[in-house]
């Protein structure tokens, strides 16, 4: 019997991905080992119970173990040694997904944690594949098209999240060149499920929706946005389905996939689509984003009042577009494709209305 190990459970992606992985015929009989931080163990147990109730065919095949990916052996108690020896596939999702994260924390979790995962993989006697979840934003502020083969293009970064995810992917790329079998997935900005709107956090484009809602008049004002800048938005169900399908393809070993909309809307279009659903007419204020960011950062309480963090404004003028050649080609025969933003924007807004208890700082 073999096992797969997952980090990042019970996060936004891991919770949806786990039942799909175990349900695949290619993993019939495979057990799952989810490495959970001690403070999230209670949540993980409830999430697993919910998953097994919804998917009784995979019940009893998942073991929750406490651990710490920044420690040798992922901080897992040696009592689980026999089970860990069976691990032949690792899904590394755990990371700090926070645009304001301190450099020390981002380095420890995103970079050092990935290094420990790579060591763990190298020590497995029958290891077959690392499935590594990166981000499109390893591109930093690269100007122009960033391909799935690109990594170090001398780019600068907006924040420590981007720079440390870049450094982590460099480690993965080096391990692949040294012979580690791996596949890299680079999601864009992941939003809720395109069919249900379900999400665990309201950040990214949700900040725009919140900003529009907080303006009481039917006319809403936004700072000027370059009309050519694209928004790399993807719904969770596409990301999960794409990774699930690609992970079992022999040709996906050694490849990198940009899980992004191949025909993305512009940031202006995203705002306009939201505004249309909210019954508001947009007026674009001719104020450059640079001064706008500075004002939002320096005026106490303005970020909270607007619902639009200064760090997010950096993504209104990202000069990068993402090539998805590998993704589109290798998903062509699977029936999985990325839906257009306008087809599910109303669903995202409805979920926001129905779930005011969710905030923007939920675990990913």
Say what the pLDDT of residue 226 is: 78
Beta bridge partners of 328: none
Say what the pLDDT of residue 33 is: 98
Beta strands, E only, the chain: 3-7, 31-36, 62-66, 87-92, 129-133, 144-146, 182-187, 189-191, 219-223, 233-235, 256-259, 281-285, 320-322
* pTM assigned to the model: 0.93
Q: Domain ranges in the chain?
A: 3-190+233-259, 198-231+265-317+340-354
Say what the pLDDT of residue 283 is: 87
Say what the pLDDT of residue 316 is: 79
Say what the pLDDT of residue 55 is: 97
Distance (Å, whole) CA 335 – CA 257: 17
Side-chain half-sphere of 1: how many Cα atoms within 13 Å?
10
pLDDT in tens, 269-318: 999 999 999 999 998 877 666 666 666 666 565 555 556 666 777 787 88
Say what the pLDDT of residue 53 is: 98
Query: Which residues of the chain have a pLDDT value below 50?
Result: 361-364
Say what the pLDDT of residue 358 is: 86
Match domain 3-190+233-259 to its CATH number in 3.10.20.340, 2.60.120.620, 1.10.490.10, 3.40.50.720. Answer: 3.40.50.720
Using DSSP bridges, classify how beta strands 129-133 and 182-187 pair: parallel, antiparallel or unpaired: parallel
Say what the pLDDT of residue 65 is: 98
Say what the pLDDT of residue 361 is: 44
Distance (Å, whole) CA 140 – CA 161: 10
């Amino acid at each position: 019997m073999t096992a797969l190990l997952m980090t990042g459970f019970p996060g936004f992606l891991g919770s949806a991905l786990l039942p799909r992985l175990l349900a695949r015929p290619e993993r019939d009989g495979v057990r799952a080992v989810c490495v959970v931080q001690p403070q999230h163990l209670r949540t993980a147990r409830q999430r697993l119970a919910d998953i097994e109730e919804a998917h009784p065919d995979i019940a009893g095949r998942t073991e929750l173990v406490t651990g710490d990916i920044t420690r040798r052996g992922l901080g897992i108690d040696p009592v689980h040694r026999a089970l860990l020896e069976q691990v032949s596939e690792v899904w590394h999702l755990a990371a700090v997904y926070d645009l304001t994260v301190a450099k020390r924390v981002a380095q420890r979790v995103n970079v050092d944690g990935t290094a420990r995962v790579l060591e763990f993989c190298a020590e497995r006697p029958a290891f077959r594949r690392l499935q590594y979840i990166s981000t499109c934003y390893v591109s930093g502020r690269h100007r122009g098209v960033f391909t799935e083969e690109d990594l170090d293009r001398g780019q600068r970064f907006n924040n420590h999240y981007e720079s440390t995810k870049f450094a982590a992917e460099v480690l993965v790329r080096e391990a692949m060149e040294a012979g580690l079998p791996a596949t890299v997935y680079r999601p864009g900005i992941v939003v809720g499920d395109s069919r249900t709107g379900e999400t665990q956090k309201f950040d990214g484009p949700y900040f725009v929706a919140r900003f529009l809602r907080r303006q009481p008049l039917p006319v809403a004002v936004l700072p000027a946005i370059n009309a050519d800048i694209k928004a790399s938005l993807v719904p969770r169900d596409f990301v999960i389905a794409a990774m699930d399908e690609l992970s079992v393809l022999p040709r996906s070993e050694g490849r990198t996939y940009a899980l992004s909309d191949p025909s993305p809307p512009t940031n202006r279009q995203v705002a306009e689509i939201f505004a249309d659903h909210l019954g508001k007419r947009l007026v674009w204020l001719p104020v450059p984003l640079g001064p706008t960011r500075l004002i939002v950062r320096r005026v106490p309480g303005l970020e909270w009042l607007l619902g639009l963090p200064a760090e997010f404004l950096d993504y209104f003028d990202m000069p990068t577009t993402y090539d998805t050649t590998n993704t589109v080609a290798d998903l062509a025969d699977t029936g999985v494709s990325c839906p257009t933003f306008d087809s599910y924007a109303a669903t995202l807004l409805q979920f926001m209305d129905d779930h005011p208890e969710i905030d923007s700082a939920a675990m990913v």
